[in-house]
Amino acid sequence: MNEIKKVSAEDRCPGMSYTEMLEGDTRTPPDYLFEETVLEMPDDPLPVEPYISEDFAKLEREKLWPNVWMFAAREDEMPDPGDTVVYEIAGKSFLLIRQKDGGVKAFYNACLHRGRKLRTEGGNSIQLRCPFHGFTWRNDGTLKEIPSEWDFKHLKDKNMCLPEARVELWQGFVIVTENHDLPDFRTWLGPAASHYERYDFENRYTGMWVQKRIPANWKATAEAFMEAWHSITTHPQLLPFLGDANTRYDHIGDHFNRAITPSGVLSPHMKGKDSDYVLEKMNEFSGGADADTNRRFAASDEPVEGYEPADPLGARKVLAEAGRQGFAEQYGYDYSDASDSEILDNFTYNIFPNFAPWIGFLPTLVYRWLPGDTPDWCIMEIRLLFPTPKGEERPRAVEMTYIPDDEPFSWAADIMGPQLANVFDQDMSNLPHVQTGMKSMKEGMMELGHYQDSRVRHFQTTLKKYIDGELPKTA
């Protein structure tokens, strides 16, 4: 096992550390869950300009988005030859097409005649025919037909193939970049790429998918999900079974950071409750209409051998065993070697700049944040990726549900589950006022916590490297 970096208790919330929880696991967790990587960063205040300035948004469009790998689609959205997905980001549109050989190409979604988008929505394609004048390309991007060809003799010897962005397929995700000189995606991401291999992400499917317009900058919205300590005020209903202040924060390289928040334990902010209380509250949260979509699950009525209510990890052991049995029945796989942590915990993994695919054995959340055409709004996308049951063909992704701008997440409670929708509505109750509040700050500077806000600082540090031209580093 990799050497564990011991951290002074003075730098963390008093109480049991996440490493100590891993050491008390009923199974052996993977080494990468033990690895604690905290970069030394200053405590200087951060400016609010990047969140509210159109000039800064322009710099992002010029220096950031064309130079990073981006999550454009899941393969289960486009399983068959000719299937297309329209991916739009920062004012640009890309047309992804599944090829006959199983690969995916990403074309700049514009006709080379007058610039009209070739497609405005996904679907299966026999060919790409511009709706304006009828210029037509094959699905591989080669030119098929020019109407009134007699008037375009000057194009006879010119390359009229559709220009392409670069595409890689990774763990069922379709990843694209405009920069053809970047290292391959796994190298660009770094060691965290290997963390996904244990969970068969390539064979997962999108079983829940919603989008909503948020009246806040994409970075402010993303950063709301980079720390767990807002739970004490924003999500108090989670404290009986969520170790919010026990969360581990890690930074690995420029393009990855994570928060690991333990579940099935009492928040350090609560005192005088045992594991029976944790189980009771976890079951209350997990029951009823959320059974199919929630990331939680109820404990079995059968007692776990050796369970002691006074054991602070007792509820974790009960819930993890219930999860192993429940997942085995539901999906047909053997989870007997899965650690308690991999069954229970919240692995909020962030891939720079706007992509958060969680890991673990249970249905996993994926977030994506898409910038608006002004700094004051963005689109937040939430998916749940479900394991494909053993022996079955991976289902096609469900259709995306767009939540109306004047409706809360609870509008989609029948899709998301009421408890999960409520958690996101609690988050959204803050964000519009974060955006307007930043504009009201007299000095225009934010003071961050040293540890619990460290992922925000790490993210902003990498962003500044792109804006200042220190990144990208090419292959």
Full DSSP string of 321-372: HHHHHHHHHHH----TT--HHHHH-EEEEEETTTEEE--SSS-EEEEEEEE-
Is residue 304's pLDDT more than 80? Answer: no
Is residue 87's pLDDT more than 70? Answer: yes
| pLDDT for the residue 301 | 52
| pLDDT for the residue 291 | 37
At residue 12 the predicted structure's pLDDT band, cuts being 50, 70 and 90, is confident
Contact present, 146 and 112 (Cβ < 8 Å):
no
How many CA atoms lie less than 13 Å away from 434 in the CB half-sphere?
Answer: 22
Is residue 297's pLDDT more than 80? Answer: no
- The 10s digit of each residue's pLDDT in 136-182 is 999 999 999 999 999 999 999 999 999 999 999 999 999 999 999 99
The pLDDT of 460-468, averaged and rounded, is 98
Comparing CA positions, the residue from 174, 173, 254 lying closest to residue 473 is: 254
At residue 299 the predicted structure's pLDDT band, cuts being 50, 70 and 90, is very low
Is residue 354's pLDDT more than 90? Answer: yes
| pLDDT for the residue 289 | 40
| pLDDT for the residue 1 | 31
- The 10s digit of each residue's pLDDT in 41-57 is 999 999 999 999 999 99
Peptide bond into 472 cis (omega under 30): yes
Count how many residues are written for the chain: 475
- The 10s digit of each residue's pLDDT in 436-461 is 999 999 999 999 999 999 999 999 99
Is residue 296's pLDDT more than 70? Answer: no
> Using CA atoms, how far apart are residues 22 and 30, in angstroms rounded to an integer?
10
> Which tokens go with 68?
């990073």
Residue 198, SS3 per DSSP: helix
| pLDDT for the residue 15 | 80
CB-based contacts of 14: which residues, under 8 Å, 6+ apart? 268
> Which tokens go with 78?
């486009």
The pLDDT of 27-45, averaged and rounded, is 95
At residue 13 the predicted structure's pLDDT band, cuts being 50, 70 and 90, is confident
Q: Mean pLDDT over all residues of the chain? A: 94
Is residue 11's pLDDT more than 80? Answer: no
| pLDDT for the residue 14 | 76
| pLDDT for the residue 295 | 37
| pLDDT for the residue 194 | 97
> Using CA atoms, how far apart are residues 43 and 40, in angstroms rounded to an integer?
10
Comparing CA positions, the residue from 448, 464, 375, 440 lying closest to residue 51 is: 375
Report pTM.
0.94
List the 346-351 sheet strands across, edge first: 248-252, 256-261, 346-351, 355-357, 364-371, 378-387, 204-214, 401-403
